[in-house]
Each structure stands twice: as structure tokens, then as C-alpha cells.
Amino acid sequence: MLKDLPRYECLLEAAKQFPDLDPSATEVYLHLLRTSDDAFGALTAHLHRAGLSQGRFTVLMLLIDKGTGCARASTPAELADRSGVTRATMTGLIDTLERDGLVSREPDLADRRMMSVKLTAKGEALIHDYLPGHFRRTAALVEPLTENERKTLVKLLAKIMGQAAVLSAQPADAVPAGIT
């Protein structure tokens, strides 16, 4: 990822050599990645201080079962699917979380292929201690945006998300003229 975003004149200059380069689209794309990375990095620094990583944090969040209003996950397969990582990666994550005493792994009695993953008391204490600060920092990140601006932002991001889904669905070397 580029640390310093190119100036717009720079994109215009590059567009002379590459007719396919859409300067405003490239600017949006680079700002999106840069902002996401910065926002993510600002919160991840605190995660690391708590001995967590994004993957570990996501797993712990999915294992919380009280007061979240959402169904919790329990098997490695479900955790992997909902975390957006492969099952192999989830095995590794659970390995280290178990090593650190934050989760426990028990065989499922009904289906002997499956394992049941649970938060330990230590894991539950850690995530519940961590969350309030995490939510405050998240709020601080978005703080200067009005409620209307937040709605607008989510709406615009959703459009790009939709395009990304379209683009990922047609992995061939298409995209010659325009995909809508």
C-alpha cells in the first residue's frame, strides 16, 4: 500500500500515458484503501497492546454470547466462515488463542467430527475489558461526521461494495467496455 497518496496532478499526468486510468476513480480507490488502513491501524495498535490481532479479536467477538443481539458461533467452521478466513487459518488462530488460555476446545459429543470452541473466563474478561475503549476509539474516528454524512458515506461505500462483488463474480479478463 502506498503510504503517501499521489497528488491529483500526478494522476492526471499518468493518465496521459495510460488512457485507461480514470483519475477520479483512482483517487477514490487509493483514498479508500489508505483511510481504511489508517483507521484500522489506529485501532490495531491498541489491539496489539492487549495481545490481540484483528483475527484473534474477531474470533473473540464471535464467541461472545451475551447481550450482543446476534447469534454466536461455536465451531471452527462457522468461526472461519463468519470471520472471512479459511478453516486452516482458523485452526491456527484457535491454536494460539487456546495456548494463551483465552478459548477452550472440546470435542462435540453429537458429531464426532466437530469441535466446540468456547471463551474461557480469562478470554471473556479480556474482551469485556477491551471493548469499551475500542468502541470509544471507533466513535472518535467517525466523530467529525454528522449523522447525515455517515448515512451518505455508508451509501457510497455500499455502491462500491456492490461493484466489487460484480467484479469478483466475473474473474475472467473481462471489464473491457464497462460492466454495468
Partner DNA sequence: CTTTTTTAGTTAGGCTCCTAATCATAAGCA
Partner DNA sequence: TGCTTATGATTAGGAGCCTAACTAAAAAAG
Catalog residues that contact DNA under the rule CB under 7 A: 53-56, 75-78, 84-96, 105, 108, 111-115
Interactions with a copy of itself, residue window 161-180 (CB under 8 A): 161-168, 171, 173, 175-176, 178-180
Interactions with a copy of itself, residue window 5-34 (CB under 8 A): 6-7, 9-14, 16-22, 24-29, 31-34
Distance of CA 25 to the CA centre of its chain: 23
| Spatial contact of 106 and 118, defined as CB atoms under 8 Å apart | yes
Amino acid at 68: T
Cα separation, 127 vs 132, whole angstroms: 9
The partner in contact with residue 164, picked from a copy of itself, DNA, none with C-beta cut-offs of 5 to 8 angstroms by kind, is a copy of itself
> Does 87 interact with a copy of itself (rule: CB under 8 A)?
no
Interactions with a copy of itself, residue window 30-59 (CB under 8 A): 31-43, 45-46, 54, 58
Stated as kind and residue range, the H or E segment containing 105 is: strand 103-107
Cα separation, 3 vs 30, whole angstroms: 10
Look-up of cell digits 491529483: 8
As beta bridge partners, residue 107 has 115
Interactions with a copy of itself, residue window 142-161 (CB under 8 A): 142-145, 147, 149-154, 156-161
The partner in contact with residue 75, picked from DNA, a copy of itself, none with C-beta cut-offs of 5 to 8 angstroms by kind, is DNA
Q: Which is nearer to a copy of itself, 67 or 113 (CB)?
A: 67
Cα separation, 92 vs 88, whole angstroms: 7
